[in-house]
Amino acid sequence: MFASLEKKEKDITVDAMEERKVPKGQWVIKQGDDGDNLYVVHEGSLECYKRFSKNEEPKLVKTYGPGDSFGELALLYNAPRAASIKTVTDCVLFALDRETFNNIVKDAEVKRRERFEHIVSKVELLDSVDPYERSKIADVAMPVKAKAGDYVIKQGEPGDKFYIIEDGHAVATKVLHGKKDPEVVYEYKPGDYFGELALLKGEPRAANVIAKTDMALLALDREAFNRVLGPLTDILKRNTKKYEKFM
Ligand code: CMP
Ligand code: CMP
C-alpha cells in the first residue's frame, strides 16, 4: 500500500506511525465498529474473522504476520470495519491515523486500486477470486514493461514468474516435436495470462513468449502466485488442456 508513495511521503507516514503493544488474545478490530487507524504488523501474528451474513458464525479468512497491514478499508471507504482481527501472540503493531492516511496515502491508493480493478476485471481467470483477495493482488503484483520484439519468456530457461497482460499483444512460439524452427502456438491479448506452467510443474519454460507490440504486464513471483492463485490451481491446470494440440 505504501509502495506508490514518494520517499518524502513515506518518511512522513513512517514518522506518524505510533507503536502499540497488544497482548495475546485481544481484539484489535471488531467488525461493524468505526475505524480510525490502519495497522502494520511489526512483531507477532493475528487472525482475521469475517461474518458474511447475520446468522452465520464468523469465518477465519486470513492470518497476518510481520510486514502485513490491515484495517485500510474503513479509512479508504469511510465504512464500518469489514472484519474482526485478534492477536494470537503478543504483538507489536504500528498504527497510522486517519488524518495522515487521508493527507498522504488515500488519493494514491484509491487511484491505484481503480486502475488495478480495471485491469483485473478483464482477467477471466480471476472471476472466482474473492473481491478482497483480488484487490490484494495489486499489493503483490510488479509492473513490468516489454518492447515489441522482446522475449518475455525463453523456452528452456528456469521460470519463477507468472504474467498477466495489462496492455499489448504477444505470441507464444515453440519448437514442436520433430520440427526444427519455432512456430507460433498461441496469441495473447490484454486480460490473458502466461508463464503458469513452470510454476505449476516446476519445469523449465515450455515455450517462448514474445511481445508483438509494446506491453504493460503484471508479474507475480512464485510466492505471490502460490498465495493468491493457490485456490485456482485446479482451474489453471484444467486450462492447460488448450496447449495439448501444440506439444
Ligand atoms: P477494515 O474494514 O478497516 O477492518 C477490518 C480489516 O480486515 C479490513 O479493513 C481488511 O484490512 C481486513 N480483511 C481481511 N480479509 C478481509 C475480507 N475478506 N474482507 C474484508 N476485510 C478483510
Ligand atoms: P511456461 O512454461 O511457464 O512459460 C512459457 C509459457 O507459454 C507457458 O508457461 C504457457 O503459459 C505458454 N504457452 C502457450 N502455448 C503453449 C504451448 N503450446 N505449450 C506450452 N506452453 C505454452
pLDDT for 45-94, tens place per residue?
999 999 988 889 999 999 999 999 999 999 998 999 999 999 999 999 99
Question: Which ligand neighbours the alpha carbon of 136 most closely?
Answer: 1
* Mean model confidence pLDDT for the chain: 91
Q: Kindly tell me the burial class for residue 188, based on how many C-beta atoms sit within 10 Å of its own C-beta (0-12, 13-18, 19 or more).
A: buried
The pTM of the full predicted model, rounded to 2 decimals, is 0.77
Return the higher-pLDDT residue of 198 and 137.
198
Return the higher-pLDDT residue of 111 and 221.
221
- CA dist., res. 46 & res. 60, Å (int): 11
Q: 192 to each of 92, 174, 224, how far by Cα in Å?
A: 41, 18, 18
Report the residue among 155, 176, 177, 194 best suited for mutation to probe ligand 2: largest number of ligand atoms under 8 A from its CB.
Answer: 194
Give the H/E segment covering residue 49.
strand 46-50
pLDDT score recorded for residue 97: 95
Place 163 in a pLDDT band, splitting at 50, 70 and 90: very high
The residue whose CA has the least distance to atom 7 of ligand 1 is 83
Total Cβ atoms within 10 A of residue 153: 20
| Rounded percentage of the chain residues whose pLDDT exceeds 70 | 99
From ligand 2's centre to the CA of 44, what distance in Å? 40
Among 229, 215, 63, CA closest to 140: 229
Q: What is the mean pLDDT of residues 102-129?
A: 84
Q: 204 to each of 1, 140, 154, 159, how far by Cα in Å?
A: 33, 23, 9, 6
Res. 23: pLDDT tops 90: yes
Return the residue matching grid coordinates 497510522: 96
Place 247 in a pLDDT band, splitting at 50, 70 and 90: low
Query: Is there a contact between 60 and 49 (Cβ–Cβ < 8 Å)?
Result: yes
From ligand 2's centre to the CA of 172, what distance in Å? 7
From ligand 2's centre to the CA of 128, what distance in Å? 23
Residue 244: strand, helix, or coil: helix
Place 161 in a pLDDT band, splitting at 50, 70 and 90: very high
Q: Is 174 in the pocket of ligand 2 (CB under 6 A)?
A: yes
Q: What is the mean pLDDT of residues 175-196?
A: 93
At 111, list the grid cell: 487511484
Place 19 in a pLDDT band, splitting at 50, 70 and 90: very high
Sheet of strand 182-188, all strands in order from the earlier edge strand to the far edge? 151-153, 208-211, 170-175, 182-188
Q: What is the mean pLDDT of residues 171-189?
A: 93
pLDDT score recorded for residue 182: 93
From ligand 2's centre to the CA of 48, what distance in Å? 37
Sign of dihedral through CA atoms 198, 175, 219, 187? Answer: negative
Q: Is 164 in the pocket of ligand 2 (CB under 6 A)?
A: no
Q: What is the mean pLDDT of residues 95-106?
A: 92
From ligand 1's centre to the CA of 63, what distance in Å? 11
State the closest ligand 1 atom to the C-alpha of 75, by its place in the atom list counted from 1. 3
Q: Is 39 in the pocket of ligand 2 (CB under 6 A)?
A: no
